[in-house]
Every structure is written in structure tokens, then in C-alpha cells.
Amino acid sequence: MSAPAAGLSPRDSLRVASAGLRARPMRAALSALGIAIGTAAIVAILGLSSSSQAGLLAEIDRLGTNLLTVEAGQSITGQEAKLPVEAPGRITLLDDVRQLADTGLIKDQSVYRSSLIPAANSGGLQVRATALNLLSVLNTDVARGSWLNAGTAREPVVVLGAVAAQRLGIDRVHADQRIWLGHQWFNVAGILEPSPLASDIDVSALVGYPAAQRYLGYLSLVRGEQRAGPPSTIYVRAATGHEAAVQALLAPTANPQAADEVNVSQPSDVLTARAAAAGAFDSLFLGLGVVALIVGAVGVANIMIISVLERRSEIGLRRALGATKGQIRTQFLAESILLAVIGGVVGVLAGAAATVVYASSKNWAVVIPAEAWVGGIASAILIGAFAGLMPAIRASRMSPTVALRTT
């Protein structure tokens, strides 16, 4: 007479587990919300840090990692050293150097919006003489106006770095756009895009070497002759794969007499380090996400305890219909897990949406690490199981006669 032990089909299990949620959808939604907020925060933080890292890495890729910078350092006595005027010419002769451009920092000059600005208000901006091929070496471009040419390089004409233009309050380029530099007016020919690999250029007003010599007195004597210069920074593009070899030779080549007075660096290293830092998520916000998850878990546990108390008659009825203790326990445990997973899925979607919106606004590639969404769903399952275990056991141990006696 006894039929085989009756287990519920997966579909029936799901229907039974969702019965309580369908009966009170508002309550279910609110208690899932806590889990959703926590999961969304965690997914968004992991997604945003990965996306910003991907964005920086893409930027580094675009800029190229083969740029090396040669700068004048300090002498043994602590004074500021200079690069020899011949340094760029010598470096050009090295094997595996593909391109080279130099700028010279004109230390005693500042740039102002007009002649009325007090001399002390230099805004931290620099004046640099520049080689005309600077932009192709830095892989950057003018945002507005035009770059210097052989003609304008001899005239009082200036091109502003991105930050310099902003600080001077110049956002457009027109024929009468002038700035005050070295006790005279210079016409503004153009404004540069930001150059992440050469942040000095961003804060500089750039003039041609001939103009620097003629109007700003930036010159040095080479074998008794006046020459524009000396350069203070040399930007070198090495052949890809030979950066280290070129880097090792740059200092002695630039200044054979005092190689230790030359600083050589690879600016993309800084960006790479910054990308690594961007990939390291913000642990404070991650902590807040975890706190939200815990609060959500407490909410789910609370709702499940109330639910078990409220649904005593349902528990009694199910027992009368032949449900085993295990089936009652499974029902409430599954309901709790289902509730938490709904919250987790909503949270993952919301966190992913936030990442997509923010990353697209920054033109980053959207990267949502697998551990973020897998971890989000997995922690929701764990939270649901943990929060529902005690109420489920309590429901299964409830005597059916006690359960039926209520109402």
C-alpha cells in the first residue's frame, strides 16, 4: 500500500518556495532590497575599478610605452645641472632611437593673462622653448588652433598646454588672443590636448627656440657662438623592445662628462603604476557594501522568522497533506535563498548598469570581473541559506497540531 517516498519535482519545489513571496510581494521586494543594495555596491566598486584600470591601460597602449625622458638633474654639490646643447644631436646617433624632441625650460620667465597681473601670480606655469616635432614624439595633438611652424617659431607666438590654457582662462583661439610673456605680448596660436606622458608640457607656454632666443634671451654659447638652448628635457622614442638598452645609454650619451647629473625615466611606468592603483578597489566603499549585505541578511532573517510565525496554519496544513519535516525545512530554506538570490541578481544588474553608465561616460571599456557577479550571486545564496536556516529548522520542528490550533 505504501507508495515510494515522494520527493517534490524541482518545479514544484520552486513553486512551493515562492508561494510566500508571491503572497506578499511588497514585503519580499523590500527585504530583497537590502541584499540588492549591498550587492550593487560591491559589483559597482569592483566593476568601476576594473573599468578605470582598463581605461588607463588602453590610454597607455595608445600613448606607447617606448617614450623615454632625459632631464637635467642635480650636480654633486646640489646645484641644478644643465644638459649640454649637443645632447639631442648625440642621442640621435644612438641605435634604436626612432624619434627625439627637446624642450628648454626658461626659468626666469613667466606667463600672464595680461600686463596688469602682478608678477608673483604666475599660476605655477612654465615657459618652454620647444622643438617643432614635439607633438609627434609625444603622440599628442592640438585641441584648438594650430601648432608652431618654422615661421611662427621665430615670432612672438605661443602654444599653450592644456592646463596652462585653463589657468590663463583661455578656451578659444582667435586672431587677437594674446598673453603677456617676458614684458611683451605673445599671440596664442593654439591649445594642446593633455599629454599624460609629459605633464610638464600641460603647464607650459611653448615658444619656438628662435623666438626664445630672440625675445626671451634664452641662449647659450657654443664654441663662442650664440645658440638657442640648452634643452632641459629630451623626449626619446626608442624602438619597441629596446627601451631598456636605450635607457641605459641615454645618460652617458647626453652628458659624457657627468652622466650622474642626468635623470632618465620612462613616463609610462608612472601611468602603469597609476593603473595598478586604480585596479585596487576602494576598500572603504567595499566595506560599506559588505555592511549593507549584512544588514540585508538580518532583514531577510527577520522576515523569515516573522513568516514562519505567521504561516503556522500553512505549515500545519502542509504537514496534514503529508509534507515531511525535511520538506517543510527545505521549503523555508529555499524561500529564504530565493529571496536573497532575487536581491543578489537585482543588485548585480544594478551594479553592472552603474558601471556601464559611468565607464561609457569616461570612454572606458566596460569590465565587470567575473568574481564580482559570481561572488555577488554566491554570497546572496550563502546569505539566504544562513539567514533562513534557523527559521526553517524552527518551522520543521513545529508540531503540526500546534500549528493547526492557531487562528
Contact footprint for another protein (CB under 8 A)? 1-9, 11-12, 16, 19, 22-23, 313-314, 316-327, 399-401, 404, 407
Instruction: Tell the smallest beta-carbon distance from residue 397 to another protein (Å).
Output: 11
SS3 state of residue 183: coil
Strand (E) or helix (H) holding 205 = strand 204-208
DSSP H or E run through 71 = strand 67-72
Phi-psi group of 54: left, alpha or beta (phi > 0 → left; psi -120 to 50 → alpha; rest → beta): alpha
Least distance to another protein, CB of residue 385, Å: 22
Residue 403 Cβ, how far from another protein at the closest point, in Å? 9
The distance of closest approach from Cβ of residue 23 to another protein in the complex, given in angstroms and rounded to an integer, is: 5
Q: Would you say 256 or 326 has its CB closer to another protein?
A: 326
CA distance readout (Å), 277 to 270, 310, 329, 351 = 10, 51, 47, 21
Residues 6+ apart with CB under 8 A from 400: 315, 316, 319, 320
Q: Taking CA 155 as the corner, what is the angle to CA 153 and CA 159, rounded to the nearest 5 degrees?
A: 60
**Structural element, H or E, at residue 76:** none
Name which of 207 and 333 has its Cβ closer to another protein. Answer: 333
CB closer to another protein out of 302 and 399: 399
Q: Which of 217, 188, 236 is nearest to 129 (CA)?
A: 217
> What is the nearest approach in angstroms of another protein to the Cβ of residue 401?
5
Q: How far is the CB of 326 from another protein (least distance, A)?
A: 8
Quote the CA–CA distance of 152 and 147 in Å, as a whole number.
9
C-alpha cell at 66: 617606448
- Residue closer to another protein, measured from CB, 303 or 398: 398
Residue 283 CB, nearest distance to another protein (Å)?
44
Of 205 and 315, the one with the shorter C-beta distance to another protein is 315
Nine-digit cell at 148?
608652431
Q: Which is nearer to another protein, 5 or 284 (CB)?
A: 5
Residue with Cβ nearer another protein (362 or 405):
405
Q: Please tell me whether residue 238 adopts helix, strand or coil conformation.
A: strand
Q: Which CB sits closer to another protein, 1 or 175?
A: 1
The strand pair at 157-160 and 184-192 is best described as parallel
List, in order, residues 6 or more apart from 151 with CB less than 8 Å away: none
Please state, as a whole number, how many other Cβ atoms lie within 10 Å of the Cβ of residue 34: 23
Least distance CB 29 / another protein (angstroms): 15
Which one, of 395, 272, 380, lies nearest residue 332 by Cα? 395
